[in-house]
Amino acid sequence: MDHPEHVQDHRAGRAAAEAAEAAVPPLRSAEEIAAVAGRIGELHRRGAAHESAAVVAQAAVTLAPENVAQLAGLLRSHGPYGAAAYLARATAHGSADQAAGTLAELRRTGLVDEASELFHALWGAPASALPSLLAALERAGQSADGQTLLWEWASAPPAELAALAVGLSAAGRTGDVRHLLRQAAGRPIGDVVAVVQQLAAPAAGAPAPQLSAVLVREAAGMRSPADLAQLGHALLPQREFYEVLLGAVAVLEESRSRGALAALRSAGLPTEPPTTRARGRR
């Protein structure tokens, strides 16, 4: 006889497997999809617009991506007007794989407007959902869309941007973190400093101070000497990040490094690492 803990483990494993299978909707026949489209149209013709919209919203997250694209094509051809676009947008409320798979199918079948509606709806995904969404887009062959989402997020308020950077780092998506922070480094200097401070806050998470340093290095590599002097003034009270800035400036191409160091000196800021100054005193 099985031990109780073995039975419990087996049941838990079976439940997990069943949940994973349930997450992938089964393919429906063309006749079934046509019946769904017919029901949506009939409800709309009877004046039951809310009920019709509810059927569309449910179909968006319960049908397989291929079937969602089929249904979108029928609704686009036969109405109700706007139902195909609403179906596409509603798919963003499903799982990440459902949304990414549907986006790929809409494009594959030439439903460009509906694909655009879905992609724009994905811009509203919260920071906590973005790591899994980016991974799903990669699996669906839509990696370029993930990079566009990161580009959009780079203009988010500093606290939200920092939360996303921490979440991406925790998910092991270091390339996405660098892409996001490289874009953020081009923002006004006040915003860059605000993101550095948000990432350095104790509540941000364990990897956050390192992410602050990544952002400072990205800024050093792309900003003008005058910008770096302004950034240096703002970072000086947080000495560890000012030292990161000095280190990043030191490894720039020679002419850029000289220009940046000259701007820092002109602004009255120190330009020698603390170890160098300490050796001089000794």
Q: Express as a percent the part of the chain with pLDDT over 70.
A: 85
Higher local confidence (pLDDT), 37 or 278 = 37
Q: Average pLDDT, whole number, for the chain?
A: 87
Task: Produce one character per residue of 33-43: b if its CB has 16 or more CB atoms within 10 Å, e if not.
Answer: beebbeebbeb
Q: How far is CA 155 from the centre of its chain?
A: 12
Q: Is the pLDDT of residue 273 over 50?
A: yes
- Say if CB 84 and CB 75 are below 8 A apart: yes
The predicted pLDDT at position 263 comes to 96
- Give the tokens for residue 89: 């947008």
Q: Is the pLDDT of residue 272 over 70?
A: yes
Over the stretch 48-79, which tens digit does the pLDDT of each residue have? 999 999 999 999 999 999 999 999 999 999 98
pLDDT band at 280 (very low <50, low <70, confident <90, very high): very low
Q: Is the pLDDT of residue 5 over 50?
A: no
User: Mapped to the 3 state alphabet, what secondary structure does 86-145 carry?
Assistant: HHHHHHHHCCHHHHHHHHHHHHHCCCHHHHHHHHHHHCCCCHHHHHHHHHHHHHCCCHHH
Q: Express as a percent the part of the chain with pLDDT over 90.
A: 82
User: pTM for the complete prediction?
Assistant: 0.80
